[in-house]
Amino acid sequence: MKDNVIHFPGGSKEHTDDADNHFKIIDDLLLLLMEGCSEATNDALYFYRFGYTEEARDSLEDGIGKLLCLMQLLNEKGVVRKKQIDYNCASTRQQLIEIGVLKGDKTKD
C-alpha cells in the first residue's frame, strides 16, 4: 500500500496534486541535468580532440550555460544549495592549484 507521504531531502511532504507537480518538475530537471552533463562531456571532448574553433567554443559555452541554468533551477526548487555549491567550487579550485593544474594561473571567476 502506498503511503500518502512523499519523502524528500529536508523533510516529508504530504501527497497532493501540487506536491506531485513539484516533484515532477524536479524529476524533469534531474533528468535534464543528467543529459546536460553527458552533452557537456561530449562538448569538452570535441574541444580537446579538435582544438580551439569557434564552433567548439560555442558548443562548450552552450553546454555549460545549460548546466548553470539547471543548477539555478535546482537551487530555486530547494534540491541543491547555492552556498554549498559555491563552497565546493572554491574547494575544487584550491585542490586544482595544489595539484598543479592551475599552477601560476592568475585568472579569476
Please, what is the average pLDDT of the chain? 84
pTM: predicted TM-score of the whole model, two decimal places: 0.73
pLDDT greater than 90 at residue 16: no
Are residues 75 and 85 in contact, defined by beta-carbon separation less than 8 angstroms? yes
Q: Helix 54-76 and helix 17-50: axis angle, to 10°? A: 160
- Residues 80-88 have a mean pLDDT of 96
Which residues lie below 8 Å from residue 78, measured CB to CB, with a gap of 6+?
Answer: 10
Report residue 85 CA to chain centroid gap.
9
The pLDDT tens digits for 37-63 are 999 999 999 999 988 899 999 999 999
The pLDDT tens digits for 62-82 are 999 999 999 999 999 999 999
The pLDDT tens digits for 88-107 are 999 999 999 999 998 766 66
Tell me, what's the pLDDT at 103?
79
